[in-house]
Amino acid sequence: MRFVRPFRLLTSLAAAAVLLAPASMLSARAQAVQPVQQAAAVAEAAKPAAAKPAPSPTVGAASAAAVDPANSAPPKSLTATAIDTVKEVAKSAGGIFSRVPCLPPKGGVRPVGSLPHVAGKLAAGEPVVIVAFGSSSTQGYGTTSPEFTYPNRLAKQLRRQYPTADITIINRGKGGEDAPEMMKRLQPEVLDMKPDLVIWQVGTNAVLRDLDPAETAHQVEDGVARIQAAGADVVLVDPQYSPRVTERAESASKIVRLLRRIAELRHVGIFPRFEVMREWHDQQALPIDSFVIADGLHMNDWGYACFAQLLGDDIIRSVGQIKLGVNAPVSPLTNRPM
């Protein structure tokens, strides 16, 4: 029987996860990682020298210990007990890799609204197609890896929530665009995908390019109407709260108000990204550079993760209410612990 060491893998993964958190939250992460390191040290000290082979470069968590089912299990040694401790601590710390420690606004935000098409498909066990439509923050500019884009993070969250469902999220983000360019792509890149839900992030580049807010709103409303006519739910996502947007405060405020108005008129959802990110900074005291990269515009890995997580929470809550027959807007976002 040969034992290999899972400890380096576990502590490395936990340490890597800390890098995704803003500075004000690192202490909480350190508390989650510390028990893993302590348990690992106990197990390492308990091993005799002959039982400490060099680590294999291909070892994964699933191969942490070899087990022979044909032999009866002997009483657990100190080493085996320590290994079990590491496994249990790792399970409890597993939320680090699926949720980030971010909070919604304390007073709640406007809910995304009901999503009857998505809820109906999930209830019937049918495949669900979601299209993430937008510009560079949908495409994922500012992330360190494609897996950290908000559509990819959202997909993982929804698949964890609905493990038996066939959920596809298609990323249709293209940097630099706003409503005029997106409307040209709406049919071939969105509607032709036969989506059940379109998450439309729009308005940031309208602010940066000094586009007429009223004309932008007219185009977005037309697009929403076409998406609804195609039989899909809609969630609008307004601009991000970042220095390059807030330096044009009047234009940004107009776009945010107009998008909310469209959501009300067309009875669709809206995720108030601007409001959520402003609260991170103003009320939760997070420095701007803890969720925005050096260009002063795009979110970093943590910012995208928190955005996707809160959006996913609201989608899940809305679907749950519709499946229960409650055709009303979902309640405001509330904090969910990791």
Q: Please, which pLDDT band fits residue 322 given cuts at 50, 70 and 90?
A: confident
What would the two tokens of residue 159 be? 């698949």
What's the CA gap between 113 and 115, in Å, rounded? 7
* The Cα angle at residue 115 between residues 223 and 257, in degrees rounded to 5: 50
218's enclosing H/E stretch is helix 213-229
pLDDT in tens, 141-162: 999 999 999 999 999 999 999 9
Mean pLDDT computed over 53-58: 37
Mean residue pLDDT across the chain: 76
- In the chain, the percentage of residues whose pLDDT exceeds 90 is 57
Residue 330: pLDDT over 80: no
The pLDDT value given to residue 17: 42
Residue 324 neighbours by CB under 8 Å, 6+ apart: none
What's the CA gap between 193 and 229, in Å, rounded? 14
**Strand, coil or helix: what is 97?**
helix
Name the segment(s) of the chain with CATH classification 3.40.50.1110: 116-323
**Strand, coil or helix: what is 197?**
strand
What's the CA gap between 49 and 44, in Å, rounded? 10
CATH annotation of 116-323: 3.40.50.1110
Q: Please, which pLDDT band fits residue 41 given cuts at 50, 70 and 90?
A: very low
- What's the predicted TM-score (pTM) here? 0.69
Which range has the worst mean pLDDT, 66-80, 84-98, 168-182? 84-98
Mean pLDDT computed over 136-140: 98
What's the CA gap between 283 and 108, in Å, rounded? 13
Q: Please, which pLDDT band fits residue 3 given cuts at 50, 70 and 90?
A: very low
Residue 83: name the closest of 7, 1, 2 by CA.
7
16's enclosing H/E stretch is helix 7-18
Q: Please, which pLDDT band fits residue 100 given cuts at 50, 70 and 90?
A: low
**Which phi and psi angles does 201 have, rounded to 5°?**
-90, 120
The pLDDT value given to residue 336: 33
Q: Please, which pLDDT band fits residue 86 given cuts at 50, 70 and 90?
A: very low
Q: Please, which pLDDT band fits residue 81 given cuts at 50, 70 and 90?
A: low
